[in-house]
Amino acid sequence: MGTLARGGATDGVAGRSGVLGGGAHAQARIASSPGHRNEDFFVESLRGAAGGFVMGAPTLAEMEPVASKVERHQSRTGVSLASFRNPSRIVAWFGDAPGHDPSVGHTEADATASLLGDEVRVLAVSVGANQLDATGQATRITQATGGALLTGVSTSQVAAKILEGLHNLPVEVAGVPSCDPGLSVGLDPASQTVTSGTDAVFTETITVADDAEQGATLTCSVPFTLNGADGGPGFTQTVQIHVNDVTAPTVSCDPGPNPAGHLSRSTANGFVMATAGDNVDDVQVTVTDLGSGQSFGPYASGTTFKLVKAPGGQVSVRPGSGAVDWNLRFTGNAQLSVTDSAGNTATAVCSVPPNTP
């Protein structure tokens, strides 16, 4: 008969393991002893499988509650089962003949349902006479639970093969992206099953929405799960995308106030206000005399000017008075220009009236 053991793995990688208690003969004695409730112990052991250790099937004399064996394991090794993050539940089943079906009122279907209910995978190792799967029992159970079957294993290689099998179990890998508004990540396929320890390759499509905030840096977090459990920080991808600013700033030459603060109805008298804006930056205005090519500034949006023609071609910029910030004497018209940090530009031209006495 086969010896049943319980084992665990964390993050798809085999955890600590060892074999305690009885062997193949002990399991045979349990299965062939009607009147005892050893099968109940086996079923409840499956229901309580916790991962992180391997427990051999007990002899009749050694049988005790599963919780006591777990407590002894923690006391002896100093390793608490609670310290394993999202442990995978694994039953290591090794022997040279299939289990009785039914046994003490429990069938193979009962055991399979119990395993599935507790999300336990079975690693079956056929040793000795190599008849563990003689009835197809091991194949059915390992396939139903997503485990694996190893056959033709010598008794001296049982422990090594169990560890090998733990590494070779299938693992379902899936990513669950969580993104800032305006950014999305698509994975193809959404999930896939690979052999533990091998790479899971996804085609990743990153999309920036048309209405995403320009100039912003958007972030997506893509945590990957292993058999539905969180893989932890080592299995989390972080994607950051800087959204280009493709919108030009604005600038206009608006009517401005005279020194007394009275707002002009037009710019014809030379009193103007430079008004500028941008969707991302706090842009400033440069003023260029189109006659001489000389530029001045930068000035903040809302700066007020008095524009006049320069007598004798003498360009000058002087502080204004009252509500007028600057007096500008130009040989040509005044061009207002702004440039944002992304290099987008905008211009506007203010007509400069002739200088009057």
Q: How far is residue 145's CA from residue 117's CA, in Å, rounded to a whole number? A: 10
Q: Determine the structural domain holding residue 133 and report its residue range.
A: 2-168
**Average pLDDT of every residue of the chain:** 76
My answer on whether 271 and 230 are in the same domain is no
What is the count of structural domains for the chain?
A: 3
Q: Which helix (H) or strand (E) holds 207?
A: strand 203-208
Query: Does residue 27 fall inside a structural domain?
Result: yes
Within-domain flag for 278: yes
What pLDDT, on the 0 to 100 scale, is given for residue 356? 59
Q: Is residue 356 part of a domain?
A: no
Q: Is the pTM of this model over 0.75?
A: no
Residues 138, 132: Cα–Cα separation, whole Å = 7
Q: Residue 92 above 70 pLDDT?
A: yes
Q: How far apart are the C-alpha atoms of 345 and 165, rounded to whole Å?
A: 64
Position with higher pLDDT, 238 vs 17? 238
Q: Which residues of 17-33 are buried (b: 16+ CB within 10 A; e: fewer)?
A: bebbbbebebbbbbbee
d(C-alpha 188, C-alpha 220), whole Å: 16
Of 226, 242, 258, at which residue does a domain stop?
242
Q: Output the pLDDT for position 22.
A: 24
Q: Based on the domain organization, do 327 and 237 belong to the same domain?
A: no
How much is the pLDDT for 174? 93
pLDDT range class, residue 350, cuts 50, 70, 90: very high
pLDDT digits (tens, 9 = 90+) for 17-72: 222 222 222 222 212 223 333 333 333 333 333 333 333 332 222 223 333 444 45
- Tokens 């804006």 belong to which residue? 277
Checking if the pLDDT of 147 tops 60, the result is: yes
Instruction: Tell me whether residue 355 is in a domain.
Output: no
Over residues 204-213, mean pLDDT: 93
User: Do residues 119 and 224 share a domain?
Assistant: no
Same domain, 184 and 81: no
Query: Is 317 within a domain?
Result: yes
**Contact in structure between 19 and 104 (CB atoms under 8 Å):** no
**Tokens 């009517």 found at:** 255
276 part of a folded domain: yes
10 and 156 co-located in one domain: yes
Confidence label for 197 from pLDDT (cuts 50, 70 and 90): confident
CATH number for the domain including 59? 3.40.50
Residues 6 or more apart whose Cβ sits within 8 Å of residue 272: 253, 254, 255, 256, 304, 305, 307, 334, 350
Is residue 15 located within the same domain as residue 138?
yes
Of 261 and 104, the one with more pLDDT: 261
Contact criterion met (CB below 8 Å) for 347 and 337: yes
